[in-house]
Amino acid sequence: MPLVARRVSRNVVRATPISPPVISSFANEPCGQRYAPLGASVPTLPALEPPASPKHFPFPNTPVDNEVFFESLMCFFAMASTGLQFLHLYRSVWWLPHSYTHQTMNFYLIDPYLVAFIVITLCRRLIYIIMRVVVKKVMITTLPEQEFLHTFRFFLFTKVFMMLGFCLVLVMQNHKLEKILYLCYPFLIYFVFFGRNVHPFFEIVKWSSANPPLHACSSSAVEIRKEVENLVGNFNARMKDILFTAICNAYYAGFIPCCFAQSSLHYDTWWAAQHIFFIFTSGFISLSIHIFSLRYCDTLHRSALHLGVWDRIETGRTMLLVNNVWKEDVLWPYGALVRYGKDVWRALGDCNSSEPGNVGFKRFYHVFKNPTTFLGLKLFFLIILILCQLMLLIRSTVWYHIISLSFILFFNYYVLYKLFRDYLVCQKIYKEEREAHKKINLR
């Protein structure tokens, strides 16, 4: 039987050649519409459209405590906290029928010159502000205001140090040298932080909280970055002032009385340490609300909108057709892809003048693009602090514990009122601003 060659018909499917992936340098644009596949002729890139400047909402005038009232409040809080710490240490049993004393504290155990040293240190700013106002109204001088204030600060600084030195000499007669050094530690820290600058010793910030640094809606990327650097430096200087003031108040109002307590004196160490912590946290939050006012935070927020931020793209093995190289004098629109170094970066924000990979600019943008988060963290921490103090107050059965916690709670209630008011205003303003920006971007 002859062999018959059988042909089996097969449907041969020709595979379409796969083009390498291409990513456009514009956001929300399908790949392949603007660029040809890799291996083809080099496409012509269109010019980037300059981004529109971010729209800023007018910020309402929120009440801010004036300088005299705020310093009076902080001085009263620090002095009362000092008295309460002395009460924790030198309380008496005056309520007993045959008690040897009829006073609530054993005042004869307290060094009066130590108290004078603490009072002068804690009240220095209030003394300076009151004397500055009085001298301005009484004296008539031909000196410029800045030169007059510099001379007046130096004069008062000399007088304050003379009084502190006099008290220190008298304290040395009754205490060891080791304890005397405790009184000088904050001044050494001051010279490390601020050098020979006398200004932070008497005033918290160089600018008043009611008149913060101004923001210029510039269209130059170089000027925007320079403005952000100045604002970052100002923010760090204010934070340094807040930390030093809060630590100094807690140190002299809470820690120094414990250091100079007699070795034979028995007191509740945990409660005294807790009181120091409450002084620091309450003072820190109150100072941050006053110094970082809403108008000041809004200035940082507006600058952050002009700054923008870059997001690095993980390229992997994918070939990206990106011909735009980052330039320092160019404002980049949202979604633009640029090359900087060996990486590819995508622009985020309505307007981008930042430098890719700059950690300081990135941190500034994420913190102040929505100041409500910054206020919300402080509000959350303050509420937790107040709840803990309320729990301690409910469980307290000792009379001086109740007095101490009640005072700090009433002070924190006032701080909570101001912080919650600022949070509500800030949340409403920036929520409407974000919705308006979304509508503009969708057009």
Most confidently modeled range among 39-43, 349-353, 391-395:
391-395
Mean per-residue pLDDT, 337-357: 85
State the Cα–Cα distance between residues 96 and 17, nearest whole angstrom: 100
Sheet holding 337-340, edge to edge: 309-313, 343-348, 337-340
Tallying the residues shown for the chain, one arrives at: 443
Query: Domain residues of the chain, as ranges?
Result: 308-348
287 and 204 in contact (C-beta within 8 Å)?
yes
Which helix (H) or strand (E) element contains residue 340? Answer: strand 337-340
Mean per-residue pLDDT, 191-220: 71
Parallel/antiparallel/unpaired status of strands 309-313 and 337-340 = unpaired
**More reliable by pLDDT, 19 or 237:** 237
Q: What is the pLDDT of residue 218?
A: 74
**Residue 416 predicted with pLDDT over 60:** yes
State the Cα–Cα distance between residues 390 and 406, nearest whole angstrom: 9
Q: How far does CA 55 lie from the centroid of its chain?
A: 25
The CB density around residue 400, as the number of other CB atoms within 10 Å, is 16
Q: Distance of CA 284 to CAs 271, 317, 417, Å?
A: 20, 50, 16
**Of 388, 385, 326, 373, whose CA–CA distance to 352 is shortest?**
326
**How is residue 390 written in tokens?**
């309320």
Mean pLDDT of the chain: 82
157 and 121 in contact (C-beta within 8 Å)?
no
State the Cα–Cα distance between residues 443 and 433, nearest whole angstrom: 16
Mean per-residue pLDDT, 281-293: 94
Over residues 47-58, the pLDDT tens digits come to 566 676 777 777
Mean per-residue pLDDT, 345-352: 85
Mean per-residue pLDDT, 119-138: 87
Parallel/antiparallel/unpaired status of strands 337-340 and 343-348 = antiparallel
**How is residue 352 written in tokens?**
């981008």
**Residue 143 predicted with pLDDT over 90:** no
* 94-108, 132-146, 284-298, 398-412: least confident range: 132-146
